[in-house]
């Protein structure tokens, strides 16, 4: 058990003296959980192999699952990568700082423990003021996956991080709730046609407005089934899973509601405690079960922001099964469905 320092910082009025303590921990090879605009991250010095190993130990994360390296200044990227393709530069100008991760050929400076043994490295520049200030103060690039126990829902609130990682890491920066709620979009820029390896806060449609055609890796659809080497976090392993079993119900909205109600009754008759992940538009249509709205169908950004929080709320309610509505896979809906599919292990009932 590690003695974890808990540091509260207001992102609107950052106390640099408090943040300096966390920066020193990173400089000295320690681990710090901190907020970003997407989810909370668990960071260590990306250039210190021993420090990076502590991330995997704290999370229980497989060592072949690559990490994302976070930087605070554009010029910091050049020592981490071999080359900067023109399309990458266009994306950087359009979306950094922000929820976009780009995959490049790595330089010799980046340890293979960061890249899962690959010759590529994933890099992003977060826009969250605490994350940016922490990286600048530490003077090192920070390798950071999401700050949760591996396989469980990502952390979007400081209470989530405290529950998962207190006693496992050196420090936790509590900086309030995050904004986006799902992890960054990951784009492989080393291939002829840039490819989305993980959908996230920047959509395919937004990317294509800047650089033209963008493909989506087939593993996004099949949740990484089969044997392959993951080039990005979130590709290969089961992720985002609450304690309860998740079943997705897919179909036209009225059919979806009816299908969830029928399945709820069937499962409750078998003695299961059932939760229903509804939306603002449908929550009053259900007759029973633990009903939680994940947001508005008319504004899927609200669903993305609440998704992991709601999965954790069902754990707190102690349900055995979560019956979840599904969403159209366009814009941010692609990222939402990617996370739900992985949480459910592709257990989908079509009605």
Per residue of the chain (351 residues), what is the pLDDT tens digit? 899 999 999 999 999 999 999 999 999 999 999 999 999 999 999 999 999 999 999 998 877 789 999 999 999 999 999 999 999 999 999 999 999 999 999 999 999 999 999 999 999 999 999 999 999 999 999 999 999 998 899 999 999 999 999 999 999 999 999 999 999 999 999 999 999 999 999 999 999 999 999 999 988 876 544 555 556 665 555 567 899 999 999 999 999 999 999 999 999 999 999 999 999 999 999 999 999 999 999 999 999 999 999 999 999 999 999 999 999 999 999 999 999 999 999 999 999
Gyration radius of the chain over CA positions: 20
Closest of 104, 56, 115, 60 to residue 82, by C-alpha: 104
Pairing state of beta strands 40-45 and 321-325?
unpaired
So what's the pLDDT on residue 222? 65
Residue 187 · residue 340 · CB < 8 Å: no
From residue 274, give the alpha-carbon distance in Å to each of 22, 30, 73, 318.
41, 41, 47, 9
- Whole-angstrom distance, CA of residue 101 vs CA of residue 30: 24
- Is residue 154 part of an annotated ligand binding site? yes
Helix ranges (DSSP H) in the chain: 16-27, 49-59, 86-95, 112-115, 129-138, 158-165, 204-211, 218-222, 253-269, 300-317, 332-344
- Is residue 124 part of an annotated ligand binding site? yes
- Is residue 70 part of an annotated ligand binding site? yes
Residue 259: left if φ>0, alpha if ψ -120 to 50, beta else—which one?
alpha
Complete domains list, the chain, with CATH: 5-222 (3.90.870.10), 245-350 (3.40.50.11030)
- Is residue 120 part of an annotated ligand binding site? yes
- Is residue 240 part of an annotated ligand binding site? yes
Closest of 286, 297, 296 to residue 323, by C-alpha: 286
Whether pTM exceeds 0.75: yes
Compute how many other C-beta atoms are within 10 angstroms of the C-beta atom of residue 80. 20
Pairing state of beta strands 195-198 and 185-188?
antiparallel
- Whole-angstrom distance, CA of residue 286 vs CA of residue 85: 51
- Whole-angstrom distance, CA of residue 193 vs CA of residue 341: 25
Residue 248 · residue 324 · CB < 8 Å: yes
Compute CA 255 distance to the chain's CA centroid, rounded to the nearest angstrom. Answer: 30
Residue 283 · residue 290 · CB < 8 Å: no
Q: Whole-angstrom distance between the N-terminal and C-terminal Cα of the chain? A: 48
- Is residue 38 part of an annotated ligand binding site? yes
76 phi/psi in degrees, rounded to 5: -70, -20
- Whole-angstrom distance, CA of residue 251 vs CA of residue 334: 16
Q: Two tokens at 60?
A: 């229980």
So what's the pLDDT on residue 233? 63
- Is residue 61 part of an annotated ligand binding site? yes
User: What is the strand order of the sheet 100-105 is part of?
Assistant: 5-8, 171-174, 32-35, 40-45, 142-143, 68-70, 120-124, 100-105, 185-188, 195-198, 215-216
User: Which residues have a Cβ under 8 Å from the Cβ of 57 and sit 6 or more positions away?
Assistant: none
Give the angle subtended at the CA of 204 by the CAs of 220 and 279, to the nearest 5°. 75
Helix (H) or strand (E) holding 293: strand 290-293
């Amino acid at each position: 058990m590690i003695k974890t320092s808990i540091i509260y910082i207001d992102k609107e009025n950052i106390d640099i003296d408090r943040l300096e303590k966390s920066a020193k921990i990173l400089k000295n090879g320690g681990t710090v959980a901190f907020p970003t605009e997407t989810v909370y991250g668990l960071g260590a010095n990306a250039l210190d192999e021993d420090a990076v190993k502590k991330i995997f130990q704290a999370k229980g994360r497989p060592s072949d699952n690559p990490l994302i390296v976070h930087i605070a200044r554009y010029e910091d990227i050049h020592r981490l990568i071999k080359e900067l393709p023109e399309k990458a530069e266009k994306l950087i100008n359009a979306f950094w700082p922000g929820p976009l991760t780009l995959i490049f050929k790595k330089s010799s400076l980046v340890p293979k423990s960061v890249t899962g043994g690959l010759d590529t490295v994933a890099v992003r520049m977060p826009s969250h003021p605490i994350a940016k200030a922490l990286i600048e103060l530490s003077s090192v690039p920070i390798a950071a996956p999401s700050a949760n126990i591996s396989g469980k829902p990502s952390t979007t609130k400081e209470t989530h991080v405290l529950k998962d990682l207190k006693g496992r890491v050196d420090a936790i920066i509590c900086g309030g709730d995050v904004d986006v709620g799902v992890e960054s979009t990951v784009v492989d820029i080393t291939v002829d046609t840039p490819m989305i390896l993980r959908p996230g806060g920047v959509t395919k449609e937004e990317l294509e407005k800047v650089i033209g055609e963008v493909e989506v890796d087939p593993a996004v659809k099949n949740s990484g089934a089969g044997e392959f080497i993951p080039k990005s976090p979130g590709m290969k392993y089961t992720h985002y899973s609450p304690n309860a079993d998740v079943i997705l119900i897919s179909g036209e909205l009225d059919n979806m509601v009816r299908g969830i109600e029928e399945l709820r009754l069937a499962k409750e008759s078998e003695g299961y405690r059932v939760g229903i992940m509804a939306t603002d538009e449908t929550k009053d249509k259900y007759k029973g079960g633990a009903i939680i709205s994940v947001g508005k169908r008319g504004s899927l950004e609200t669903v993305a922001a609440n998704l992991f929080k709601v999965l954790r709320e069902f754990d707190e309610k102690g349900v055995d099964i979560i019956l979840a509505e599904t969403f159209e896979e366009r814009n941010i809906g692609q990222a939402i469905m990617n996370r739900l599919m992985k949480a459910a292990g592709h257990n989908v009932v079509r009605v």
